[in-house]
Amino acid sequence: MCGIVGYIGTKKASPILINGLLRLEYRGYDSAGISTVEKNGLSIMKDKGRVLNLTKLEGIDDLEGTIGIAHTRWATHGKPSPENSHPHQDNSKTFSVVHNGIIENYHELRKFLTDKGYTFYSQTDTEVIPNLIHYYYTNDKQNDTLKFLRAVRNACFDLKGSFALEILCKNYPDNMIVVRKDSPLVIGKGMGENYISSDIPAILSFTKDFYLLNDLEFVILSRNEAKFYNKDLEPIDKKPKVIEWNASSAEKEGYEDFMLKEIYEQPTAIRETIGAKFSENSKCEFENLNFTKEYLSSLNKIYIVACGTAMHAGLVAKNAIEKLCKIETEIDIASEFRYRDPLVDEKTLCIFISQSGETADTIAALKLSKEKGAKTLAISNVIGSSITREADYAIYTHAGSEIAVASTKAYTSQVVLLVILAIYFAEILELDNSYVTNLKKEILELPKKIEETLKLSEKIKEFSKKVYQEHDIFFIGRGIDETVAKEGSLKLKEISYIHSESYAAGELKHGPIALIENGVTVIGIMTDPNLVEKTISNIQEVITRGAKTLVITNQPIDTSMFDMMIQIPDTHPFISPILSIIPLQLFSYYISKEKGLDVDKPRNLAKSVTVE
């Protein structure tokens, strides 16, 4: 969940490293540090707390090195402290290392190294890495140019778990070695310089040419080149890929917070995600997919596997796929999927959703599905991300960079892409779905309807001011509206720290209604015309027990019984969650602002969850 930045070139490294770390703050972290190659050896500057703390450390302005590595840490082993912060060095201070990921066998490695005379000064798993590299380096009797690389390679072979590493060696002051396994790392190619990061946006302002690394590809970086080697240390040829992102997408552009900016970017994100995949009168097309009628007809089941908000997008998709394609579809949480021995085989299609494309649990589930013989399809917002390279097929949302930890535009883009995918499958299967044409028309009208929904923000803000001091809030809905209730509840938890629960509205009387008392807030979502009357009955049950109510609907219903009603544009039930979630995104945002909280960086959370 932490961030990595590196630089090797002719400019002073420390300002570039700190600027890169600032761009990675959205990932979540509790400490930060840098290491540079100086005339007298390897320097280290690190401390717990924010990146800006680094700029206040004595001596940091005196650093002159033009090669350096940097890191923001999110604690997994050891509390936040200067000692546990990265970078870490070996006992002789020959090597500096930063590490993303988790070393599962660090206890065994630590004992092995302790028995060899090494001393440890932190509680981290990472500290074994520089000492292990030093162990192999000092025991290598060949003094050729690849000695540094061999030591890194041999150490990596001993590591179990995930890692993205940047390594400096004082004996090789003009080089840096980087490698990754199951944790993201990219190299940005410049003129006479190279940039390294765990996330493309952190270095996008410097270059658009990126090398995308596969697992256990080792790279020796100098100012003018990058030499790539496989795990057998055989040279490999790798070409840079041009990433056409706009660096300004990582700026607030006048909005008070990234989350608010990203909520208002949803019309554009949806337009870009729809793209040219279809028109009202043409079939859906995905240039990266080649599914056949024979294959889709052979499927017994589709699994959609994801975490958090992405899993909620999958719940929406289940409804569309089953009704349009008549294929049983199961939704699974990625962190549970591979531990319950899922019934997956060659007649199963497994779809994996990850905004970052680096979610550790989801990638692990994908690998298991491939082992069991299933075809795999990744849905991500990041071209070249780990999950898209592991999967058999990949398609992309085009939401642009999403900086706020709480996902908004990535979620709605996932929903629309999944519904389009359901239409694509249905058309290949040649099923008689009379309302597909109408559904396409409604999808094409979504951006305009989102813009209309965003105009309701002041009304939502008004209700937020009335309830922001609540301790418990409940969300209810039926059918597809229950999936919106789940996502709305999650958003509120994430950024307001208010306890909230979501329920299928019909389940209230089976237990949860015991929690409803005078003054409790209940939010109801009702967009499916077949279920509106039932949901109204459930809301009446909480009103009679003194609940305050906010209703979000696109149906013509009597407003007099509710404390507030938000009327959103009418649309097809399959895509109504894209419109009905927007008031709830704004609701969570305004409550968080009323409470004076950090909307973009909620406590204990990170944007990209790269450890299990």
CA atoms 229, 230, 233, 236: torsion sign? negative
- Beta carbons of 315 and 504 less than 8 angstroms apart: no
Distance CA 345, CA 430 (A): 25
Question: What ranges make up the beta strands (E) of 190-229?
Answer: 194-197, 209-212, 218-221, 226-229
Distance CA 381, CA 396 (A): 5
Distance CA 608, CA 308 (A): 12
Distance CA 258, CA 261 (A): 5
Distance CA 321, CA 423 (A): 8
Distances (CA, A) of 88 to 2, 13, 195, 207, 230: 15, 18, 20, 28, 25
Closest CA to 11 of 202, 166, 193: 193
Closest CA to 380 of 449, 307, 296, 448: 307
Closest CA to 487 of 611, 286, 307: 307
Question: What ranges make up the beta strands (E) of 234-328?
Answer: 235-236, 241-242, 301-306
How would you label 389-426 residue by residue, b for 16+ Cβ within 10 Å and e otherwise? ebbebbbbbbbbbbbbbbbbbbbbbbbbbbbbbbbbbb
What's 279's DSSP letter? B
Closest CA to 585 of 410, 434, 368, 422: 410
Q: In what order do the strands lie in the sheet with 95-103?
A: 88-89, 95-103, 161-169, 176-181, 218-221, 226-229, 235-236
Question: What ranges make up the beta strands (E) of 233-359?
Answer: 235-236, 241-242, 301-306, 329-333, 348-354
Closest CA to 603 of 470, 499, 464, 496: 496
Tokens read off for 501:
């629960």
- Beta carbons of 370 and 395 less than 8 angstroms apart: no
Amino acid (1-letter code) at residue 14: S
Instruction: Please state, as a whole number, how many other Cβ atoms lie within 10 Å of the Cβ of residue 226.
Output: 18
Amino acid (1-letter code) at residue 380: S
Amino acid (1-letter code) at residue 103: I
Provide the annotated active-site residues.
Answer: 2, 607
